[in-house]
Amino acid sequence: MAGSAGVGPHAAVLFDLDGTLLDSFGSIADLTDVALVEAGHAPCDRVTLRRLIGLPLEAVFRQVWPHDPHPEEVARAIATYRAAQLDNPSPTFFAGARELVDDLRAAGTSLAIVTTKGTPAARRALADGNLLHRFGAVIGGDVVPHLKPHPAPAEMALRHLGISPRDAVVVGDTTHDVHMGVGAGCRAVGVTWGAHDAGTLLAAGAMAVADDMATLRALLLGAR
């Protein structure tokens, strides 16, 4: 646990989904490859892709494309990715994620998902994990005017929950999550089992960083 001062129970927790609750990097990489191969290109470099997790799909494809893509190429790649995503099984949850969500709800904490994943895919993943009913809002990248790191997704989630930013914390594995949360007036907690490391998350403004689910539980629930 790093930088843990001032982190404790909150009225609401806004969770990122991919890389935070869902062990989805392999799925994201496979879906990206489907779109690239269909366009006649080689599969993506996994190291490069991991650094891009959390960005909008448009930005991801522009980075992994072997040349400067035409907007129509990017649009077709995104459509292929989204279709394949709904045709394939949802990623699995990290060990301890379901229990943490259940414990937070049992403690009276309001919960929301704030993700760049499309809302239908996000809701399906939560339903497949029997967790959809635990979340008062699911904010996908298809329903907001601006994507992370802009604060708009967190702001929309807070409006749905009826919670003030000062009473909420954003939890995510990327600097995009941290910047979004801080920009919305929330506190932010980073997790290191996803895309970005502890130093990067703290430098972005995270008040604390968790290296495992048990530590995250302690940060969010304290002694309860």
Residue of 170, 167, 166, 203 lying closest to 185 (CA atoms): 166
* Nearest Cα residue to 158 out of 167, 149, 150: 167
Tokens standing for 12? 């609401």
Q: Which of 18, 33, 173, 177 is catalytic?
A: 18
The answer to whether residue 16 is catalytic is: yes
Spatial contact of 103 and 221, defined as CB atoms under 8 Å apart: yes
Buried residues in 110-122 as b, exposed as e (16+ CB within 10 A): bbbbbbbbbbebb
Q: What is the DSSP string of 42-66?
A: PPPPHHHHHHHTTS-HHHHHHHHSS
In angstroms, the Cα distances linking 199 to 33, 45, 92 are 30, 24, 27
CB 197 within 8 A of CB 215: no
Catalytic residue among 16, 33, 173, 177: 16
Active site residue 18: yes
Helix/strand/coil (H/E/C) assignment for every residue in 172-186: ECCHHHHHHHHHCCC
Instruction: Report the catalytic residues.
Output: 16, 18
